[in-house]
Structure 1
Amino acid sequence: MTSPLTKLDVARRQLATAIRLFFDCTDPISVYSLAANAWEVIDVLCTRAGVASASTQTRGHLTVGKDLKRDYINSPFRNFFKHADRDPDGLLEGFESSAVDALLFLAVEDYIQIRGRSPVEFQIFQLWFLACHPEKIASDRADGVLNAADRVFPSIATLPRERQIDLGHRALEHARIDAGVLNDPRTEPAY
């Protein structure tokens, strides 16, 4: 018999799987769907716990009348992927694999905020995303994060996307067997 699972357990497993699929260059629709499912659960848990999450901060920067879940997470991609009742013959245009990057990042950041630790998949994705998008780093954290990012992913922001993802894949594979990372108290198992 399997152990009981909490909502956070399920979200962690979905998000870790999404990140592995992402770095394996597997179907971005599946990655997006898993990431959106995980994000939604983590977001609700952060809100209920009063955690100042990245999603909460993001909501503060949205255009008046826009909703993070409705207008950015669900629409148009997630709704198209999971519903056929309103448009059974619909066609989706404009979906790029890069659409999942920010969603994965939000879910990872929120998970780390509520849990205080995370699987190696989350740690590598977080560092990869910030290395690829240094403009997203808060100025009070920039020096430390950029130094860490440059050690693992030197000059990654200037590389083509395929090479960026390949470097992320390699870093994840290395981290998954690195005893120092695995034994760090900030690391927890994904599954």
Structure 2
Amino acid sequence: MATMCLLNICLVLLFSTEIYSLDCKMLHLQQNKVNMKSLELLSKMGGQFPLQCLNENRNVGFLQKVLRPTESQKENAKLIILEIFQQIFNIFSKNLTQAAWDRSFIQSFQNGLYQQIEQLEKCLHSERENEIPYLGNEKILFPLLKLKKYFERIGDFLKEKQYSLCAWETIRWEMERCLLFVDQLTERLQN
């Protein structure tokens, strides 16, 4: 039953991605839809935040403090969103044994992130064919480095807490905030 449900979710994600891949100008619509599904899956994945974890040290910082929206202008939004999705995917590919979350939700969440990463990479590749590579651009390089440091702190936090249930719940909560930040950046794509 769970396998059939997971298969249905994957097929919906696959078909919706194929439909939207026809035009990268519609990227914001696809991003909004899949991002909302990802938020829903994150919420369902663990349910209520465990009371025993309320006192957990949440010293990972907040993405909004690390990366101000002004640094994420429209031309950089896709690259920043791509980096956030790649980093979240990497975090959720680590030692999840202590998390005690529903595996089908985790897999669906990872599949959705992977689809978004692929879509963004395709659109960025087609946009950059005739442009100067962004790696030399300080306006994007600095925010990307900040993002990498932020997610390194998250990885360090998980290791320090030995991938405990409370550490994972704290990170799940923080990833919800990251996806909400992605929604703000996605709004820039449609303007």
Same fold (TM over 0.5): no
Q: Which has the higher contact order (CA 8 A, sep 6+)?
A: 2
| Between structures 1 and 2, the one with greater helix share | 2
Which TM-score applies when normalising by structure 1?
Answer: 0.32
